[in-house]
């Protein structure tokens, strides 16, 4: 029989509540908490339950992930399951984080479950199957059943249907399928048309993502007194990448002091962006973050002053939601220093 | 305008002593037919085959397909292209149903050329896997384009058109098995009951992006690149006024057969007088330059308003750059107060993760989606190949490749293939046949 391992947090792992959220990772043989419910219908033997406090995972992510991967290193398992995390934000992010790491390290399928409001959905839905779950723990049985149903299909190597049929969050993949009912496009077109003409609800087959348009800021009236800041998604960081910004699908950003630099030096700064050939930016980081030119223009009086830091993240693969969150974290620093204009360098 | 289509249903095709149609059996005298084809001295090599559903046959490189038709009154079936320039869409036309003439290059393919499988896993990917096909495999002396990726395929496509009329000649004196009537009164002189229904136009965007003549869709023989949108009667489309071009990656292509049988037009006809008042066609086009796209969209929206259309359907014969014409036209109609539905395919990449159309607009809230041009398709070898399978990988076909670091060549030594849906002959059937759709995974 195939084997499975389950991840739960301190609460569902029966360690304790919020006061135990710092609980370090532990692996227990057999079934803890929801594992019993899983084991009823799962077409695999659930051999172990991994337990980790939500805060421990949130604050010491790297350590938590490494510890857990170490615990799994010598164990045989064909699938890794986590949660369900309901609407619990930290738990959802923890499930997503560990599932992603396990999938990458051991190349096994992973399945978890979260409520649509859980921030973990937006962060991880492209990386794994996240079942659309309930908002509260009272939905436990239903959510576990959903995870098990999909897990069994994976274990039995059955074809996995579309997100709508199977109940997982769409992973940003659109594929061609033959309709079971064989209704041709011409009839679907007429049906949609008549409904639209008569003001009845209809369902498009190509949903257009909502565009989040930002109004263009008003122009700077007097550049000679304006304070300018530099922000980039080109991944320019000090060579040791102190903020551990990811090379793709970034969730972290960094802030670097440029008060005493006339230019960024190769060997001190580099790019960690995985979406383009880094050779040019590594040889001269100013091609992405033009500190040299900005300092020069400052001397010439072209603009008033330069904000003392530049800000970096990586754009490639980064979700709009993550980008928005990072911007909301960066903007207060700019406002506090009364920055009038930002040069936003993309790559 | 009233068009009467007299139908003869072809259950089987065979070669024999003379060209005739009897009890559902179409018999073709091969030598006579080939002699007719060779009247065009550009044809250097020609052979005829029969390919029926279930046959262990693969066709490649396919150029175009035609429904065999003839007009008992002697007018040509492709006015302005083959035969005199006369109005189409009225009177009587005879058609051989469940049957098509498919033209295949003997050796050389190109960007727009494609593949048909008559059985097995590949059969479902194109409508022509379900039809009784008369297959003309031929080569020409068009040396100027022999090794070009973009081919006009003029001699071959004309040969197919001519052959389709020649073959249907055998029913010219016969009584059709059934008649389909397509009749629409002038737009402004209809019954009050009909006029009270929401009025609808069908906006067609046939492929016309090539600046050089000879590659684009023709309307009465006129290159669609050289027109601004105009109003047409649906019967004209169903009756041979449009000839498919030779440019678009094939799964997005509308063959001449597709124009002759356009399911979207027939579906709107069926609803006419019941749920809608079908006004007719706005024939638009697809352009390369932004200004041309915008001009066409302005014309379409203006025509829809002037005709009093409450609703519109827009369909594009293409993807990529033409998506801008499609979305632009859709948005222009919505801005003009015309409730619009779009029909298109998508290009989401081999991994399904790319943006479906190159441009999007929130106004386009009602779209019927017919397939993914870049879906990977792997198919086993077929017993017989008509044409030259190498053309799929060798000649710049939009869905094939000579080699790939992950997938290897499109054409394997054993005759199995790996290709993108792009190379399935008229595979996405945006003209209305498609039983495919796109789903989120």
> Among A185, A202, A208, whose Cβ lies nearest the Cβ of B432?
A185
Q: Which chain A residues contact residue B323 at CB under 8 A?
A: none
pLDDT in tens, B308-317: 999 999 999 9
* Spatial distance between the Cα atoms of B210 and B285, rounded to a whole number of angstroms: 11
Q: Which chain A residue is nearest to residue B327, measuring alpha carbons?
A: A208
Can you tell me the mean pLDDT for B23-42?
98
Q: Which chain B residue is nearest to residue A207, measuring alpha carbons?
A: B365
* Spatial distance between the Cα atoms of B409 and B417, rounded to a whole number of angstroms: 8
* Spatial distance between the Cα atoms of B316 and B249, rounded to a whole number of angstroms: 13
* Spatial distance between the Cα atoms of B29 and B17, rounded to a whole number of angstroms: 5
pLDDT value of residue B354? 85
DSSP at B121: G
CA proximity to B301, closest of B277, B324, B275, B328: B328
> Among A162, A189, A206, whose Cβ lies nearest the Cβ of B432?
A189
pLDDT value of residue A346? 86
Looking at CATH, the fold of the domain delimited by A3-166 is given as Rossmann fold (3.40.50)
Angstrom distances, CA of residue A76 to CA of A49, A72, A95, A108: 13, 8, 20, 10
Indicate the pLDDT class of residue B146, thresholds 50, 70 and 90: very high
Percent of chain B surpassing pLDDT 70: 100
CA proximity to B263, closest of B242, B286, B234, B283: B234
* Spatial distance between the Cα atoms of A81 and A196, rounded to a whole number of angstroms: 43
Which residue in the block uniquely carries the two structure tokens 């049906």? Answer: A191
Asked if A191 reaches chain B (Cβ–Cβ under 8 Å), the answer is no
pLDDT at residue A222 tops 90: yes
In this structure, chain B runs to a length of: 441
* Spatial distance between the Cα atoms of B142 and B149, rounded to a whole number of angstroms: 13
CA proximity to B118, closest of B425, B375, B402: B425
Q: Which chain B residues contact residue A197 at CB under 8 A?
A: 198, 200, 276, 310-311, 339
Q: What phi, psi does A314 have (nearest 5°)?
A: -115, 130
Which residue in the block uniquely carries the two structure tokens 């607009």? Answer: B361
pLDDT in tens, A131-188: 999 999 999 999 999 999 999 999 999 999 999 999 999 999 999 999 999 999 999 9
User: How many other CB atoms sit within 10 Å of the CB of residue A334?
Assistant: 19
pLDDT at residue B278 tops 80: yes
> Among A173, A179, A188, whose Cβ lies nearest the Cβ of B353?
A173
Angstrom distances, CA of residue B126 to CA of B121, B130, B252: 11, 8, 11
Classify residue B181 as exposed, middle or buried by CB count within 10 Å of its CB (0-12, 13-18, 19+).
Answer: exposed
User: Which of B268, B362, B426, B441 to substitute to test the interface with A, most A CBs within 10 Å?
Assistant: B441
* Spatial distance between the Cα atoms of B395 and B110, rounded to a whole number of angstroms: 5
Q: Which chain A residue is nearest to residue B278, measuring alpha carbons?
A: A190
* Spatial distance between the Cα atoms of B88 and B91, rounded to a whole number of angstroms: 8
Kindly report the pTM of this predicted structure. 0.85
* Spatial distance between the Cα atoms of B413 and A173, rounded to a whole number of angstroms: 32
Classify residue B109 as exposed, middle or buried by CB count within 10 Å of its CB (0-12, 13-18, 19+).
Answer: buried
> Among B275, B344, B438, whose Cβ lies nearest the Cβ of A174?
B438
DSSP at A211: P
Chain B: nearest CA to A166, how far in angstroms? 9
Residues 6+ apart with CB under 8 A from B92: B4, B6, B71, B72, B73
Chain B: nearest CA to A176, how far in angstroms? 5
CA proximity to A183, closest of B167, B43, B435: B435
Distance of CA B379 to the CA centre of its chain: 24
Domains of chain A by residue range? 3-166, 223-345
Q: Is the ipTM of this complex over 0.95?
A: yes
pLDDT value of residue A195? 98
Q: Which chain A residues contact residue B198 at CB under 8 A?
A: 197-198
Q: Which chain A residue is nearest to residue B338, measuring alpha carbons?
A: A197
Higher pLDDT, A39 or A321: A39
pLDDT at residue A211 tops 80: no
Query: Strand, helix or coil at B79?
Result: coil
pLDDT at residue B407 tops 80: yes
* Spatial distance between the Cα atoms of A132 and A130, rounded to a whole number of angstroms: 6
> Among A173, A178, A204, whose Cβ lies nearest the Cβ of B436?
A178
Residues 6+ apart with CB under 8 A from A170: A125, A163, B440, B441
User: How many other CB atoms sit within 10 Å of the CB of residue B107?
Assistant: 16
* Spatial distance between the Cα atoms of B338 and B335, rounded to a whole number of angstroms: 7
> Among A184, A190, A206, whose Cβ lies nearest the Cβ of B438?
A206
pLDDT at residue B229 tops 90: yes
Whether the ω angle into residue A178 lies within 30 degrees of 0, i.e. cis, is no
Asked if A164 reaches chain B (Cβ–Cβ under 8 Å), the answer is yes
Percent of chain B surpassing pLDDT 90: 97
Domains of chain B by residue range? 2-423
Q: Quick check: A6 and A35 in contact, CB under 8 A?
A: yes
Q: Are strands B114-117 and B222-223 parallel, antiparallel or unpaired?
A: unpaired
Q: Which chain A residue is nearest to residue B440, measuring alpha carbons?
A: A174
pLDDT in tens, A53-100: 999 999 999 999 999 999 999 999 999 999 999 999 999 999 999 999
pLDDT at residue A316 tops 90: no
Can you tell me the mean pLDDT for B349-363?
90
pLDDT value of residue A271? 96
pLDDT at residue A301 tops 90: yes
Contact A194 B271 (CB under 8 A): yes
Q: Which chain B residues contact residue A213 at CB under 8 A?
A: none
Q: Which chain B residues contact residue A317 at CB under 8 A?
A: none
Q: Determine the straight-line distance between the first and last CA of chain A, rounded to whole angstroms.
A: 49
Contact B375 A209 (CB under 8 A): no
pLDDT value of residue A131? 98
Residues 6+ apart with CB under 8 A from A217: none
pLDDT value of residue A141? 97
* Spatial distance between the Cα atoms of B117 and B110, rounded to a whole number of angstroms: 18
């Amino acid at each position: 029989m195939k084997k499975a391992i389950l991840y739960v947090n301190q609460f569902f792992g029966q360690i304790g509540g919020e006061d135990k959220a710092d609980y370090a990772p532990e692996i227990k043989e057999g079934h803890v908490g929801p594992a019993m419910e899983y084991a009823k219908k799962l077409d695999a033997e659930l051999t172990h339950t991994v337990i980790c406090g939500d805060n421990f995972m949130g604050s010491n992510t790297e350590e938590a992930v490494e510890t857990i991967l170490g615990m799994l290193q010598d164990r045989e398992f064909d699938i890794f399951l986590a949660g369900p995390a309901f609407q619990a934000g930290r738990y959802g992010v923890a499930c997503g984080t560990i599932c992603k790491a396990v999938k990458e390290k051991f190349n096994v399928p992973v399945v978890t479950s979260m409520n649509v409001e859980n921030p973990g959905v937006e962060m991880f839905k492209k990386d794994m199957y996240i079942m659309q779950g309930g908002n509260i723990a009272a939905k436990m049985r239903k959510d576990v059943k959903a995870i098990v149903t999909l897990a069994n299909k994976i274990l039995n190597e059955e074809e996995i249907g579309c997100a709508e049929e199977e109940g997982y969050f769409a992973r940003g993949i659109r594929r061609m399928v033959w309709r079971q009912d064989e209704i041709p496009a011409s009839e679907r077109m007429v049906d949609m048309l008549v409904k639209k003409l008569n003001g009845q609800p209809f369902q498009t087959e190509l949903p257009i993502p909502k565009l989040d348009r930002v109004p263009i800021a008003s122009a700077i009236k007097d550049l000679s007194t304006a304070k300018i800041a530099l922000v980039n998604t080109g991944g320019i960081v000090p060579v040791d990448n102190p903020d551990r910004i990811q090379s793709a699908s970034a969730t972290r950003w960094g802030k670097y002091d440029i008060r005493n630099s006339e230019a960024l030096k190769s060997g001190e700064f580099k790019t960690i962006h995985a979406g383009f050939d880094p050779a040019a930016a590594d040889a001269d980081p100013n091609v992405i973050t033009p500190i040299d030119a900005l300092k020069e223009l400052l001397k010439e009086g072209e603009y008033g002053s330069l904000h003392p830091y530049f800000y970096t993240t990586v754009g490639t693969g980064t979700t709009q939601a993550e980008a928005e969150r990072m911007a909301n974290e960066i903007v207060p620093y700019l406002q506090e220093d009364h920055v009038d204009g930002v040069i936003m360098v993309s790559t | 305008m009233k068009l009467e289509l007299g139908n003869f249903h072809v259950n089987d095709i065979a070669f024999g002593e003379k060209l005739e149609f009897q009890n559902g059996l179409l018999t073709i005298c091969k030598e006579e037919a080939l002699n007719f084809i060779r009247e065009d001295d550009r044809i250097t090599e020609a052979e005829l085959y029969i390919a029926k559903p279930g046959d262990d046959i693969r066709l490649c490189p396919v150029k175009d397909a035609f429904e065999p038709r003839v007009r008992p009154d002697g007018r040509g079936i492709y006015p302005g292209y083959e035969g005199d320039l006369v109005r189409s869409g009225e009177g009587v036309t005879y058609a051989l149903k469940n049957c098509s003439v498919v033209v295949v290059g003997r050796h050389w393919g190109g960007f727009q050329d494609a593949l048909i499988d008559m059985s097995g896993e590949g059969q479902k990917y194109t409508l022509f896997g379900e039809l009784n096909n008369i297959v003309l495999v031929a080569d020409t002396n068009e040396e100027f384009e022999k090794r070009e990726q973009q081919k006009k395929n003029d001699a071959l496509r004309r040969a197919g058109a001519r052959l389709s009329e020649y073959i249907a000649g055998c029913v010219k004196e016969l009584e059709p098995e059934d008649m389909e009537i397509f009749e629409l009164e002038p737009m402004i002189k209809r019954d009050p009951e009909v006029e009270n229904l929401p009025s609808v136009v069908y906006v067609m965007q046939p492929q016309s992006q090539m600046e050089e003549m000879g590659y684009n869709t023709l309307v009465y023989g006129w290159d669609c690149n050289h027109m601004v949108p105009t109003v047409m009667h649906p019967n004209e489309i169903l009756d041979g006024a449009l000839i498919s071009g030779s440019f678009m990656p094939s799964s997005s292509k509308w063959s001449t057969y597709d124009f002759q049988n356009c399911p979207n037009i027939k579906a709107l006809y069926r609803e006419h007088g019941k749920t809608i008042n079908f006004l007719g066609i706005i024939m638009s086009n697809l352009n390369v330059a932004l200004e041309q796209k915008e001009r066409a969209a302005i014309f379409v929206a203006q025509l829809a308003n002037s005709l009093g259309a409450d609703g519109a359907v827009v369909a594009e014969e293409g993807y990529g750059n033409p998506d801008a014409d499609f979305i632009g036209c859709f948005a222009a109609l919505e801005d003009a107060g015309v409730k619009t539905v779009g029909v298109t395919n998508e290009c989401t990449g081999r991994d399904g993760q790319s943006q479906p159309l190159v441009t999007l607009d929130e106004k386009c809230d009602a779209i019927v989606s017919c397939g993914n041009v870049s879906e990977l398709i792997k198919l086993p070898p077929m017993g017989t190949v008509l044409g030259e399978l190498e053309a799929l990988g060798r000649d710049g076909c939009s869905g094939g490749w000579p080699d790939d670091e992950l997938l290897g060549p499109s054409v394997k030594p054993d005759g199995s293939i790996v290709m993108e849906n792009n190379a399935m002959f008229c595979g996405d059937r945006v003209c209305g046949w498609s039983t495919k759709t796109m789903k989120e995974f």
